[in-house]
A and B are shown apart, each in its own frame.
Chain A
Amino acid sequence: MILTEEQKKILNGEYGNGKAMAMQVLVGMAKCFDAPRLVPISRVHISMSAQEGDTWFATKLWRAGAVCAVTPTVNPGYSLDYFKGKISDEAVDNMQRTREAYEGLGARMTYCCTPYLADNVPQYHEIISFSETNATIYANAVQGAYTNRESSASALCAAVTGYAPEYGMLLEENRYATVAVDVRAKLRGDFDYSVLGLLGKKIGGGVPVFYGLPEKISTEALIGLGTVLNVSSNYDTFHIPGVTAEMVREHNKYGERVQREVVITQDDLDAALEAFSPAEEKEISYGVFGCPHYTYDQVAELLRLFDGKPSRVPVYVLTSGRVVLQARKNGVEERLRALGVDLIPDTCVDEYYCWGHLADRFGVSDSLKGYYYMQVSGLRMAVRDTATCVRALQEGVVR
């Protein structure tokens, strides 16, 4: 592997220990994945988590004097404002230590897992380093940026040094579709695209290109598809003719190296949802939305679906600080609150400190990924499309 003079200086500690440590990680990764060199990156998103391991590493780099060469955006932890008085002192201290380390490193504390919609929007074929699997696949597939599926640690190292190892998705040859997925089912709403994402085992490894989908697909549906593809399996990117960036710009070029074909039927979709979240009639005691973070349109749609009839149980909607501010300005936040629906900024579903009190209780969500992570904390949920969730919340029973 060839390092530039500048990269050697970083590795040898001429810019301090912190940068040298970050460079060691990148060089180790480059060797492992046979990357010939490290290339400059112009954007970074870090799946910061406020979990112990992640905070430990960020603190270690910060204490060693590292400062980010490329200002990263970061994932949510939990909002100390919203959870004030509701979480332990230990939890407050933990979030503060995470914030202190990342701020010290020079991160932009956006606390949002959909940075590609605002704040940190990649350009076509821009070389970037994004961790957070929903962000990585959206940036690669929908926006046509070049990023590997980084870990929070490797993305932080990229931010500190300004470089990433050149392998995988950073090489054009690896971005061609390898498996054609013929969808012989009618996808009616955004939720159906999430269910399609559950079929990772059937689709198999590689880069999928989806045929048989509508010409216009919503941003939220595309977020859902990419997100759940990385719940059921692991994918770096996907293609949809006329929709995703590389196929829009280069027509069918990225679909010309397909090696096998998979057919997905309505029965496959129904069976996948039934296996993940079986149909049942059951009382519920909460609802959770916003994994990944809800967009403004999803927040507004939720208000429309409630149609003035309040929820019988508490409803938590996770979104960005930016969306909460807009909703506040427009009166949407107030109207939702009157229905029993809280908009919560800066917070992730995967935070035991915030959601552990719901353990063993039954709720509803429209997020397959959210449930996948919350069940680790002991929560039990039915996962349904948003309209079904809203009806369940209004009746106190999911059907």
Chain B
Amino acid sequence: MTNEVFSCREISAGIAEGEALISDDRILFYHADFASGTICESGHSLNGVCVKDKILIFPGGKGSSVVQMDGMYKLEKNHAAPRAFIVQEPDTVLVSCTIVMGVPMVDRAEKEFYSTVKNGDYIRVDTQKQTIEILRRAQKE
């Protein structure tokens, strides 16, 4: 049983647990299949990958001022949304959307978190304590 705790900063309040999913690319949630939560953007590192119920670790958002929220809203409505966001470069659109939608989001996670976290690790984000915990390591294949 691992129990590693890393510091971060609260942007949008909340507590969430789930499997970590790492994206190298910025994400626009408009480019997704809203029923399943699968990212549909050719060339994207998560193209074809399902984000439903994940704790998404990605650089930040992209796209114009309104479609980001539409994408997030449709995922939420279909119960296909991620559970929390861990970002590096928050932008105005993503920040306002997560607060409005009540999706927990943090940034400024300490360096060690990024060097240790792997896809599939079961993690917990607590914005009030401003911590990310790795609760269980992903099963080795």
Contacts and interface: CB of A to CB of B under 8 A. Distances in A.
Contact of A54 (B12, B69, B90): B69
A157 B97 CA distance: 12
Interface residues of A, number: 35
B71 to A, nearest CB: 7
B71 A131 contact: no
Interface string B1-24: 000000000111000000000000
A136 B64 CA distance: 11
Given A28-B11, A47-B65, A52 B95 contact: no
Contacts of B65: 47, 131-133, 136, 149-152, 155
B137 interface: no
Given A52-B73, A52-B74, A148-B92, A57 B64 contact: no
Interface in B117-137: none
Given A32-B90, A32-B95, A25 B100 contact: yes
Nearest to A61: B100
Size band of the B side of the interface?
A: 20 to 34
Interface in B53-68: 62, 64-68
B70 to A, nearest CB: 4
Contacts of B138: none
Contact of B97 (A47, A49, A151): A151
B87 to A, nearest CB: 10
15 contacts: A29-B92, A47-B65, A49-B70, A51-B70, A52-B73, A54-B69, A56-B73, A75-B66, A132-B64, A132-B65, A149-B92, A150-B65, A152-B66, A152-B69, A234-B62
Which 7 pairs show the lowest CB-CB distances between chains A and B? Answer: A53-B73, A53-B70, A154-B96, A151-B93, A53-B69, A51-B70, A131-B65
Interface of A: 24-25, 28-29, 31-33, 47-49, 51-54, 56-57, 75, 131-133, 136, 148-155, 157, 168, 230, 234, 350, 376
Given A49-B70, A154-B92, 11 more contacts: A25-B99, A29-B92, A32-B90, A33-B90, A51-B67, A53-B70, A53-B71, A53-B73, A53-B74, A151-B93, A155-B65
